[in-house]
Structure 1
Amino acid sequence: MKIFKSIVKNTLFTVALLGLASQSYANKYSEVLTPDNAVLAMIDHQTGLMVGVRDMNPAQLKNNILGLTKMAKVLDLPSIVTASYPQGPNGPVMGEISQVLTDAKVINRQGEINAWKSPEFRKAIKDTGRNKIIMAGIVTDVCLMFPAISAVAQGYDVYAVVDASGTWDKVSREAAIHRMTQAGVKVVTWASVLAEIMDDWRSPKGQELGAVLAEHTSYGYVYQSFIANKKSN
């Protein structure tokens, strides 16, 4: 009888722990992006790597990167830009990112392929005090996938922006998406990130974010009609 009671007691204790863990997980991952809980990390968008992207039209990729970075600029999100061995064949970070994110923390890694293994990069993320990382990288299946999985393993909530990332081919992209999803990374697009973080057209930055969306997606015609109607009234 004592053994039975002990088993029941241990079982109930385990169930309670699992319940608390499940609740903690649900709270953490159901919390939406806000301008106050997110940080942007742009990883290895370097000229030498950009030319190897084949899973997306180069013009579309550039457009998506600009949309994402302009969103961060409008919201004054803490932003971290990192490059892998920039003096080597990977080359410098594409100039458009530097032109938009003028206040970003720039970290030039000397050899780490996985940016999360860079103490400077991890510290830059930690110093923001934010737990949600909006992350994009070239190439998707290395520069984005490795740090995204590593960050999740250390308790961060990572949003991997796959359309502001690129890789050698569609097979590589699909494999990376599967692996990131299995590891608990949230796979998203830049426009969905903007919509989630904007939340309401009446938000303080709603109109400015709408303008970014209009500039870099086909939503532009809808936005133009909205502005024209607003002026007429």
Structure 2
Amino acid sequence: MKSNLFSPDNAAMLLIDHQVGTLNWVKSNTLEEIKRHTLALARSAKETGMPLILTSSQEDQVQGPLFDELAAAVPEAFANRIQRQGVVDAMKDPQFAMAVAAAGRRNLIIAGITTDVCVVYPAITAIQQGYNVQVVVDGSGSPSTLADETALRRMEAHGVTLTTTNQLIAELAQDWSSPNGSKLMQVLFEEVLSKQG
């Protein structure tokens, strides 16, 4: 039986619109939690050689740039980020869609700000295009809990799998004693577990 597990060898990481202005609109989770989980996701991709695609929308407007810690953690992905000019559904932005296709992976891991605008549409579009999609709920957030929950229900109804950072990293690792597993455990400890109150 074929495994449906995502791994560093069969998945790509898409981080959408983790911008300083947009982050300020999120009330469904704390800014610190979202940043921690986003950094863990970005570093997990980087440490295991998984394709990592960052995108932003209208950086010169109220949304602002991607948050500094993300740019510092994955400078190469940051330099290559897809800067959209306002297309809400990133999968309908030609440059972004080309970057995703070029990664050559049918399994997509998505997190973004906000869940109810910037994540829901590309996640559903990707499913409709034949991708398998996991959305990392705690690396995302919305202006209200109701907005977040509604977007999550809508995505699930379209076949998106919902996950959390810890759950996803364990899925990618499968064995903490493997080379990728030990790298992922270190990332999880440094970015998430050691910083929990």
TM over 0.5: same fold? yes
Aligned to 2:59: 86
Is contact 1:73–1:101 with CA below 8 Å preserved after alignment? yes
Aligned to 2:74: 101
Q: What is the one-letter code of the residue matched to 2:39?
A: L
CA displacement 1:190-225 (0-9 Å, x = unmatched): 11111001011221122221111222334x59xxxx
Moved more, 65-74 or 158-167: 65-74
Give the one of 20, 35, 39 matched to 2:8.
35
Q: Which amino acid aligns with 2:141?
A: G
- Following superposition of structure 1 onto structure 2, how do residues 165-176 of structure 1 map, counting pairs within 5 Å? 165-176=140-151
CA distance in 1, matches of 2:99, 2:192: 31
> Given the alignment, which residue of 89, 93, 114 partners 1:114?
89
Whichever residue aligns with residue 212 of structure 1, its letter is V
TM-score of the aligned structures, taking structure 1 as reference length: 0.79
One-letter code aligned to 1:210: M
Using CA pairs below 8 Å that are at least 6 residues apart, which structure has the higher relative contact order?
2
Matched, 1:46 2:7: no
Q: Give yes or no for contact 1:63–1:216 (8 Å, CA) kept in 2.
A: yes
Which stretch shifts more, 127-136 or 67-76? 67-76
- The unaligned stretches of length 5 or more in structure 1 are 1-25, 222-233
Shift of 1:72: 1.2
* Cα distance, 1:87 vs structure 2: 1.1
SS of 1:103 mapped into structure 2: helix
Query: Where do 1:1-233 residues align within 5 Å?
Result: 30-104=3-77, 105-218=80-193, 220=194
Distance 1:87 1:60 in 2: 25
Give, in whole Å, the separation in 1 of the partners of 2:148 and 2:116: 6
- TM-superposed CA distance for 1:34, in Å, is 1.1
Letter in 2 for 1:199: Q
Structure number with higher helix proportion: 1
- Look up the equivalent residue of 1:112 and give its one-letter code: V
Whether contact under 8 Å (2:48, 2:183) holds in the other structure is: no
1:118 Cα deviation after fit: 0.2
SS at match of 2:81: strand
Unaligned runs of 5+ in 2: none
Identity of aligned residues (%): 38
CA contact (8 A) 1:79 1:101 kept: no
Which of the pair has more CA radius of gyration? 1
Shifted more, 116-125 versus 63-72: the winner is 63-72
Q: Tell me the C-alpha RMSD between the 2 structures.
A: 1.6
Question: Matches of 2:108 and 2:72 in 1, distance apart?
Answer: 21
